Amino acid sequence: FTADSYPSLQRDPRYATLNQADIDFFRSTLEKEGGSIVNGLDQSTDPSDLEAFNVDWTHKYRGKTQLAIKPKTTEQVSRILKYCNSRRLAIVPQGGNTGLVGGSIPVFDEIVLNLSLMNKIHSFDELSGVLSLDAGVILENADNFLAEKDHMFPLDLGAKGSCQVGGCAATAAGGLRLLRYGSLHGTILGIEAVLPDGTILDNMVTLRKDNTGLDLKQLFIGSEGYLGIITRLTVICPRRPRSTNVAFFGVSSYENVLKAFSESKSYLTEIISAFEMMDNTSQRLVDALNSTQRPLEEEHPFYVLLETQGSNKEHDEQKLNELIENLIEKEVIADGVIAQDESQLRVLWERREGITECLAKAGSGVYKYDVSLPLNVLYDLVNATKERLADLKLLGESSDQPVIDVVGFGHMGDGNLHLNVAVRQYDKRVEKALEPWVFEWVASHRGSISAEHGLGLLKKPYLGYSKSPEMISLMKTLKNVFDPNGIMLPYKYV
């Protein structure tokens, strides 16, 4: 989808167009301290060098930037924003570009400000567990660093090898263990951010408690780059668990998945660290594209990946075994397996973490919806979607039916469903059938239209399904305070 696919979107003429003097300014600002630019105005630049900055992870959205800026220091970010603000050059911040809502790439010719060169870990305090690092540090690198200190990053997700901690903060990413370690709104203690006028906001607090005035950093967590650029973070990190167990269950109905969740919380209490639900369609996709063997022989309508993390292996295993005995006795689960070693543990996680990639390869596109719902109706949305697409004759095996599969999986422990509609090719009929119908369905069940991926370009028109006009109006007022010229993240978010 390029901007042309959205006739309602027009390039805003208030934004300036990039010229050679701008390039000269950026080059001179960056070169001294090791930053760099990729300049499409230069005839000798290979157009494919800009491709990675213009196309998102899903390959659904494509922008037309002529310039990607990669600063090395906060001061450079400040000088660049100040300059862009005075010139009214529009900017899209970019981390690892793994976002799934079209937020991290330009719509038209916005300048991409990519954080990948700001990738230093500054300090770690073993007593408090507080880590201080640049926004551009790759999540997995941060976690590997912490592993050496017997700690872990409080967030983990399938894109950890590419996404940046700053991008995760900007989207308030939830991930696989939120039910245990909490949201980034709680674990990020401090933030350094640069406002569009170049002001550096130093809120790099390392304290757990700090009730002094408005907690401004919270505005940046989940703001997707709408208010400014996050350049540094302090994060409170838990001890690395000494014992991790992973079990994988086959379950005959969604009702039993709910029972399994309730029993798991009751038996495992403080050691439960993940409870992930997957339907059979998602696992068939993984089978088709992934070389790992099915953990369970028979197929089941639903699967659950349950993880415990604790400090005493014997104690954790005893609790898990008692839970499983109970689940089998009450016929809540039909079959199950527990990982016996690290490699089996990884294979089981791969059945869950690999779904996104397998979905991306299933056809030529995926319509992705990331919603929060009350647990009792969570999977009803998948059934309702299947019915709707079948009724409209859009779902089926024939090549003129665009929809291949409707898949449901997600962070059940957080009430977060990922509804995915895999298509042979993107098709306006499917989009029309799903939007705003999915959002209406979610709103009518008092859910949220964006649980963890954010709004980006995809959900901007639908915010009203989750937020009142008064709240949206206040968001716009705040935007005007932070960014009166509107240079940050145009055409997206709110």
* Length, in residues, of the chain: 494
Q: Is 370 in the site for ligand MLT (CB under 6 A)?
A: yes
Residues of this chain, 223-252, that bind ligand FAD according to CB under 6 A: 224-225, 229-230
In degrees, rounded to 5, the angle at the alpha carbon of residue 321 between the alpha carbons of residues 319 and 327 is 105
Binding-site member from 29, 73, 98, 282 for ligand FAD (CB under 6 A):
98
Q: Is 158 in the site for ligand MLT (CB under 6 A)?
A: yes
Q: Is 281 in the site for ligand MLT (CB under 6 A)?
A: no
Give the range of 90-98, 253-261, 296-304, 318-326 binding ligand FAD by CB under 6 A. Answer: 90-98
Residue 107: alpha-carbon gap to chain centroid: 19
| Shortest spacing between CB 262 and ligand FAD, in angstroms | 23
Binding-site member from 29, 65, 85, 94 for ligand FAD (CB under 6 A):
94
Cβ proximity to ligand MLT, 26 vs 349, nearer residue? 349
Cβ proximity to ligand FAD, 99 vs 490, nearer residue? 99
Binding-site member from 40, 93, 295, 408 for ligand FAD (CB under 6 A):
93
Distance (Å, rounded) from C-alpha 425 to C-alpha 118? 37
Distance (Å, rounded) from C-alpha 440 to C-alpha 48? 40
Binding-site member from 57, 267, 303, 349 for ligand FAD (CB under 6 A):
57
Cβ proximity to ligand MLT, 370 vs 405, nearer residue? 370
**Residue 337 is inside which H or E element, if any?**
strand 335-338
Nearest to 163 by CA among 235, 96, 118: 96
Beta strands in 347-392 (DSSP E): 365-372
- Three-class SS of residue 141? helix
Cβ proximity to ligand FAD, 319 vs 351, nearer residue? 351
Residues 6 or more apart in contact with residue 87 via CB below 8 angstroms: 16, 22
Distance (Å, rounded) from C-alpha 66 to C-alpha 85? 18
Binding-site member from 177, 418, 459, 479 for ligand MLT (CB under 6 A):
418
Distance (Å, rounded) from C-alpha 418 to C-alpha 276? 11
Cβ proximity to ligand FAD, 168 vs 305, nearer residue? 168
- Three-class SS of residue 74? helix
Nearest to 66 by CA among 87, 81, 49: 49
Burial of 384 (0-12, 13-18, 19+ CB in 10 A): middle
- The residue type found at 27 is R
Q: Is 137 in the site for ligand FAD (CB under 6 A)?
A: no
Q: Is 368 in the site for ligand FAD (CB under 6 A)?
A: no
Binding-site member from 356, 385, 401, 466 for ligand MLT (CB under 6 A):
356
Query: Which residues are at the interface with ligand FAD (CB under 6 A)?
Result: 57, 92-100, 103-104, 115, 135, 157-159, 163-164, 166-168, 170-171, 173-176, 224-225, 229-230, 356, 452-453, 456, 489
